[in-house]
Amino acid sequence: MSKDNGGESPPVREVGDAPQITRLLNIEVKEKTLFTSFSSPEKMAAHLGAINSDECWNSSNVWKSVDKDFAGVNSIHEAIDLAHHGWKEGGETIERTRGYIQALNPLSARLIKYGIAGTTPNVPRAIAGNLLNMRQPDLTRSQKRKTITIVYNMCEAWYAQADAVSNKAAVVAALIDEIEGKGFACEVISCANTGYAGSIRAITSVCVKESHQPVDINRLAFGLGHAAMFRCFMFGTWQSDDFVERLGGGLGTVSTTLPTKEQNEQNIYTITSGHYNNRIKIELFNTMESAAKEGLNKIVSELQKQGCPAFEKKDHEDGLDEEPVEQEEDHRDFW
């Protein structure tokens, strides 16, 4: 279990090859809880690919039928293929998003150092007679960089538009690339959780980028934002484990993991789902323009309040001064 209350602790089950992620999230166990954690989307895909759908407690599971309008794929096998090979179209969206974000909200200038000696020439400078025409290598890439962990909660209710989910993920992926451009090494964890308060809970997490890995846009696009990552992979982990059969066909209530001061002190920062305290409403991402402006600003503001060193901290309005309260606005299930 992640954090034991002591005494008569609720029953806990852990599944997956990355229990260290569960420890990292350090979630207090208050009810019967299923933790599933994987070291990569590929490991998660292998786990789901080995499941016999006939043995799932939920007969209407993602192995039996998948609605493409809802999950973005025609079958879980298509989702598994995307996990292994990346989501090309999503990667292209992120590339377009990056330029769009920089045009609307330039977050930082990436300065290039020039000198008499370097690795590659700048032809216009050389033609103009400028002796400082050689690009000098960025040594920060070879030096030890500060590692920060971004926890991205992808829980959204069934009525969230698929485009909004993808747009939000594109903004987050572009932001992660921006943070790395500032000299930080990012570890990125996607997670989702559900349950009924005081009764049962299920939390699934997967590392979609390790700190030493470069940003693989197509892979990050699937792990952060493809509808199948949430509505096939996450759902599948819950539908196949009879430990959480009590969730029922609707798979529980929309929820989110929350940031804590203890995590922030360990350089772990959380991007909550649109469900939490209306901080980052999914509706802000319905169009790419609003996603790259209002949506991005909300995400950056949340990271600032948590003290993420990639952004100037807002000393006022510290959202962690008070105990966070998770709202259950509509008590609707996931599907």
H or E element that contains 205: strand 200-209
Q: For the chain, report the end-to-end CA distance as a whole number of angstroms.
A: 28
H or E element that contains 127: helix 123-127
Quick one: residue 248, left, alpha or beta (phi over 0 = left, psi -120 to 50 = alpha)?
Answer: left
Token pair for 232? 């096939």
Q: How many CB atoms lie within 10 A of CB 32?
A: 18
Cα 246 to Cα 58, 249, 286, distances in angstroms: 10, 9, 33
Token pair for 226? 């493809």
Q: By C-alpha distance, which of 1, 5, 16 is closest to 234?
A: 16
The crossing angle, in degrees rounded to 10, of helices 88-104 and 162-181 is 70
Residue 318 carries which side chain, given as an amino acid letter? Answer: D
| Strand, coil or helix: 307 | coil
Token pair for 42? 């590929």
Residue 79 carries which side chain, given as an amino acid letter? Answer: A
Give the whole-angstrom CA distance, residue 99 versus residue 102. 5
Give 119: exposed, middle or buried? Use CB within 10 Å, 0-12, 13-18, 19+: exposed
pTM of the model: 0.81
Tens digits of pLDDT across the chain (335 residues): 444 445 567 899 999 999 999 999 888 898 999 999 999 999 999 999 999 999 999 988 999 989 888 888 999 999 999 999 999 888 888 887 877 777 765 555 455 566 777 666 666 677 777 777 677 655 544 456 899 999 999 888 888 887 888 889 888 988 898 888 888 999 999 999 999 877 999 999 999 999 998 888 889 989 998 889 999 999 999 999 999 999 999 998 878 888 899 999 999 999 988 765 556 888 899 998 888 888 988 999 999 999 999 987 665 444 444 444 443 434 445 54
Give the whole-angstrom CA distance, residue 234 versus residue 205. 9
